[in-house]
Each structure stands twice: as C-alpha cells, then as structure tokens.
Amino acid sequence: MTDNIFLGFDFSTQQVKVIGLNENLKVVIDENIKFDTDLPEFGTSGGVNIHNDKVGVTAPTAMWVKALDLLLEKMKSAGFDFSKVVALSGDGQQHGSVYWKSGAREVLKNLQADSSMYEQLKDSFSVNDSPIWMDATTSSQIQTLEKAVGGPMELARLTGSRGYERFTGLQIMKLYQTNKAAYDDTERISLVSSFAASLFFGDYAPIDYSDGSGMNLLDIRTKNWSPACLETCGTSLADKLGVPVPSNTVLGNVSSYLCNKYGFSGDCKVITFTGDNPSSLAGLAPRQGDVIASLGSSDTVFLWLPEATPGMDGHIFVNPLDQNTYMGLVCFKNGSLTRERIMQQCAEGSWDRFNDLLQQTSPGNDGNIGIYFDAREIQPVVMGKFRFDKDDQQFDNFSPAVEVRAVLESQFLARLMYAQACGMKIGPESRVIATGGASANKAILQVISDIFNADVHVIDVPNSACLGGCYRAIYALKPEGTDFEEVVRNLPKPERVCKPTAGNRSVYPAMLERYRLLEGKISTL
C-alpha cells in the first residue's frame, strides 16, 4: 500500500469544495471556500448575483479563480502534501459558461508561481459575469433554436432536451445576438467544469460528453456537436467550443504553475471534469432502479438509464461512466434556497426549530398546500407564492408550522410528479439515495420517503459530487476495459435512514392529484 492520494474538486453554485481519498478510499482532506462569506468582495448571495429583472442570474467568473487560489492556500496551510496526489478530477455546476478572450490561452499556459491565478487571469475573460444555471433570460433564443431544428421534440431527440433557458447553447446565442463584440473577442467557450479543469491543466480543457449534454448543442447519440444547432447559435462556434471528449479522458499532467507553487508532482494526472450531477452519479455508484435526490442549491432527481428516451419533460445526458448509456434528470430551481428562506422567516434561522415546527403538523397538512417559486421555476415556468386551504381557497399567509410543512410537501410532490412524467419508475425495490447539503436533515428525508413511498438512503460523505471526482480519477488510471464497479466494490453500502411511515401511504397519492390540479391552475393565473 502506498500513500497515493486522489483529489475531487466541486465548483458548485455556492462554494468550491475538495475531497481527497487515499487508496483505501478513506477521506484524507475535506475543505471548502464559500463564495458569500470567504469572498465578500464579489457581493454574491447564495454564490450568485440576481439582476434587477429577477430573471438574469450570473456569477463573477474571476471569483471562481480566486476561490481556487484560496482553497489551495487553505490546503497548504493545513499541511496537505500535494506531492502525493497522483490524479485529480472534478466537476462544475451545470450549464454555466465562461468566455476566454483572445490571448487568454497564452496567459493560462504561462502562469508564474510568484503571483496568484486570480491576479494573472482576472482580465482574461471577454464576459466578466458568467451566466449560470439559474438564468432565465433566453426564451426568445429557445424559440429560434427549436424552430431551426424542427420543433421542441426534435431538439429533445437530438440533444436530449427541448430548449431550456439555462442551457448553454441558448446563452451563447444570446451573447452572439446582444454583444457581438464580446462574442468575436472570445477565443474559447468553456463550461464551468471544463473551465475548472483548465485551471489545473494550464491549457484549455475540452468539454466532456456528459456535461456537454446540458447545452442543447451536442448530438447525444453521435457525441459530436450538432451542425444545425451550432450554426443557429453563433459563428465559428465549433472552434470556440473545441472537440468534446469522453468523460474519463486523461488530459495530461497538472500545470507547471501548480507544481512550482504548491509542490504537485509533475506526473500528477488531470482527468476531464464533468457536471456536478453526473459527478454525483459516479460518487453514489447507484444500482439499477435507484433514484437519486440531490438537494444542493438546486433539487435534482436523476437515475442511470440504459437507453436514451428523450421527451418534452426532463433531460437526457450521456452517462459519465459509460458513454454508451445515459442518465435521466429533472431539475428544480427552488430547492434549498427556498427552504432556507422559509427556515429564516418561520424558524428563527435554525434548522432544528424548522424540524420542530414540521412535527407540529401531520402529513397532508390538514389539506393546506403552499407552492413557493421565489425564483421563476423551470417547470412550471412560474414565479410567486401560492397558498391554498383544503377547499382550494387562496390565502396570503400560513402559520409558521403550516408553512414549513407546506414547502416540503409541495416541493417533493413536484419532484415525484415530474420524475414520473419523464419515465422514472418508483417500485417496491427502489431506493432513493439522497445527497447534497439538505440530505443532512433527516426530517426532510422522512417527508421524501413518505411522498415517494420508498426507503431513503444516504452515504456517509454528503458531498457525492467531490467523491465522484475522486473515483473518476482512480478509474481513469485503470487499464482500459476495467469496470467502474471494481473501483467502488469495497465501499460501504448506502445506509437506510428512513422508510415510509405506514399510516401515511394513503395521504400522498390523493394529495399528488390535488397538487397537479393546483399547479395547473397557478400556471394559468
């Protein structure tokens, strides 16, 4: 046994995190930098800047660079020995885009160890604020792209999703249409994932098939950019995007900058980064039939699919572990941040108090249903707060205890309803595996268990996206043909933390039908 270490980095919405594993898959380092509190000079809230129109959402690109500088410094101060790292990989929040300006590649390739990456790269972007997955400003571009390829269903068949406002191709089209000078001054467009990989590789890293599936640009069957989509979104776009690659591609050695500044070994390999949800799939190593509920800034529900069956709801991405299979995913914008807002307003800023309030009401909430879309939701495309009593009468306010249960019940009824609409089957053998920040809260997981009528499991490290980066780094160095299962075979199995409460089985099927009707009603208000 050697003391080799594998690192997984997660550039998610609210923070940059790292986990390091030794060859026994034991955690040897776990650190993070939170954008709002560790980098207050960028003025973010929840890691992002919401524009005055409430639908434009961006993050300062250079903030992500500075966060990585701080994280590496923090690891160094903790005495971390970078020379033991044999390979690293990671992920980024999906769909966000980075625009490197002409000449940036030379700067990236020639970073000097006597200064930080932030100081050297802060002026390297043709667009300083990256549009991210919460942005909802591209509805006209959706129409243009869907029309160009023969309609929404044809776009879904080709790229795995009909047009969605946050998808990168539409964001690129908007830049092309509204700021052609910046578009023309862009020599490379990265996803957050390939941008993060570039910082380690010291050169432009390619986009991987899995995260590339979240752009409305990649043909998910041929794994090449769709010429029709590229032509519609901008000029010379293939050159600006580079050639997409399999998610387990070994890019090469870590940059000489990182070797000189932090003592990484010159042989340390950088493995292609992917999206945070695909990376979580790798980190949880689910079995056939498992449904994953990721409760980070967004709530997502996803699973491994043997075949691509794109439809009008949800997304199909190429599987990051096996490019011949797929993953199905549905994403909700009003997840943790909406729960957190209600926790602040109703429960004095304490999750324990939030959980106490939850216990003061019963499943079904006496017929009260509250639907909270603080930000314009992805499905349905609605913004606002809607409260109904058992007779479907609308109210302006609920008591704190009713409000707490209402947000959880409506959120997870919606997760179930849309997951089922895009073909996810929850059977008696199904396990829900929960991950992300809110998976630490067992009271929330019990509501999921009751609504999904399935056992809920967790793994002992809530950050499955980072773990996925570590496992993918290990996997990429194995001989070709090795099964991913070999990497994760000896891991402890996810632990069951909740099972459906017997008496609640009759409550939620009826409530789901009422939720469906009320959601339809508010969509037409």
Ligand X SMILES: Nc1ncnc2c1ncn2[C@@H]1O[C@H](COP(=O)(O)OP(=O)(O)O)[C@@H](O)[C@H]1O
Q: Which does 277 bind (CB under 5 to 8 A by kind): ligand 5SP, ligand X, none?
A: ligand 5SP
**Looking at 438, 466, 470, 498, which residue binds ligand X (CB under 6 A)?**
438
Token pair, residue 278, equals 């695909």
Which CB atom, from 58 or from 300, has the smaller least distance to ligand 5SP?
Answer: 300
Degrees to nearest 5, angle at CA 422 with 417 and 428: 65
Stretch 441-470 residues interacting with ligand X (CB under 6 A): 441, 444
**Which neighbouring-strand residues pair with 373?**
384
Determine how β-strand 455-458 pairs with β-strand 495-498. antiparallel
Stretch that binds ligand X, among 8-16, 48-56, 163-171, 308-316 (CB under 6 A): 8-16
Q: Is the peptide bond before 40 cis (omega within 30 degrees of 0)?
A: no
**Which positions from 3 to 42 touch ligand 5SP by CB under 6 A, shown as an x/- string?**
---------xx-----------------------------
**Looking at 8, 96, 283, 436, which residue binds ligand X (CB under 6 A)?**
436
Q: Which residues contact 495 (CB under 8 A, 6 or more apart)?
A: 457, 458, 459, 460
Stretch that binds ligand 5SP, among 239-247, 296-304, 392-400, 515-523 (CB under 6 A): 296-304
At residue 425, what is the residue type?
Answer: K
Residue 93 is a binding residue for ligand 5SP (CB under 6 A)? yes
Backbone angles phi, psi at 417, to 5 degrees: -60, -45
**Looking at 312, 381, 440, 517, which residue binds ligand X (CB under 6 A)?**
440
Task: Output the smallest distance, CB 449 to ligand 5SP, in A.
Answer: 21
Asked if residue 471 lies in contact with residue 283, where contact means CB atoms within 8 angstroms, the answer is yes
Q: Which residues contact 428 (CB under 8 A, 6 or more apart)?
A: none
Stretch 185-214 residues interacting with ligand 5SP (CB under 6 A): 214
Task: Output the smallest distance, CB 248 to ligand 5SP, in A.
Answer: 20
Q: Which does 118 bind (CB under 5 to 8 A by kind): ligand X, ligand 5SP, none?
A: none
**Which positions from 292 to 331 touch ligand X by CB under 6 A, shown as an x/- string?**
----xx----------------------------------
Stretch that binds ligand X, among 174-182, 259-267, 433-441, 488-496 (CB under 6 A): 433-441
Range list of H helices, 364-506? 400-421, 442-452, 464-476, 484-488
Token pair, residue 369, equals 């249903």
**Looking at 277, 361, 365, 411, which residue binds ligand 5SP (CB under 6 A)?**
277
Residue 296 is a binding residue for ligand 5SP (CB under 6 A)? yes
CA 208 to CA 193: how far, in whole Å? 9
Task: Output the smallest distance, CB 440 to ligand X, in A.
Answer: 5
For tokens 């496992």, name the residue: 471
Residue 92 is a binding residue for ligand X (CB under 6 A)? no
Backbone angles phi, psi at 191, to 5 degrees: -80, 165
Strands (E), 357-438: 369-373, 384-388, 394-395, 431-435
Q: Which of 399, 397, 407 is nearest to 338 (CA)?
A: 407
Residue 388 is a binding residue for ligand 5SP (CB under 6 A)? no
**Looking at 336, 410, 411, 449, which residue binds ligand X (CB under 6 A)?**
336
Residue 61 is a binding residue for ligand X (CB under 6 A)? no
* Three-class secondary structure of residue 207 per DSSP: coil
Residue 278 is a binding residue for ligand 5SP (CB under 6 A)? no
Asked if residue 286 lies in contact with residue 179, where contact means CB atoms within 8 angstroms, the answer is no
Residue 345 is a binding residue for ligand X (CB under 6 A)? no
Q: Which does 188 bind (CB under 5 to 8 A by kind): ligand 5SP, ligand X, none?
A: none
Token pair, residue 8, equals 């997984």
Residue 300 is a binding residue for ligand 5SP (CB under 6 A)? yes
Residue 418 is a binding residue for ligand 5SP (CB under 6 A)? no
Q: Which does 440 bind (CB under 5 to 8 A by kind): ligand X, ligand 5SP, none?
A: ligand X
Residue nearest to ligand 5SP (CB): 296
**Which neighbouring-strand residues pair with 146?**
none
Size, binding site for ligand 5SP by CB under 6 A: 16
Q: Which does 300 bind (CB under 5 to 8 A by kind): ligand X, ligand 5SP, none?
A: ligand 5SP
Strands (E), 298-379: 299-305, 315-318, 326-332, 369-373
Determine how β-strand 455-458 pairs with β-strand 431-435. parallel
Token pair, residue 157, equals 């068949």
Q: Which residues contact 196 (CB under 8 A, 6 or more apart)?
A: 9, 11, 64, 68, 90, 91, 92, 273
Stretch 119-138 residues interacting with ligand 5SP (CB under 6 A): 133
Residues that bind ligand 5SP (CB under 6 A): 12-13, 93-95, 133, 166, 214, 275-277, 296-298, 300, 331
Residues that bind ligand X (CB under 6 A): 12-15, 296-297, 336-337, 339-340, 351, 436-438, 440-441, 444
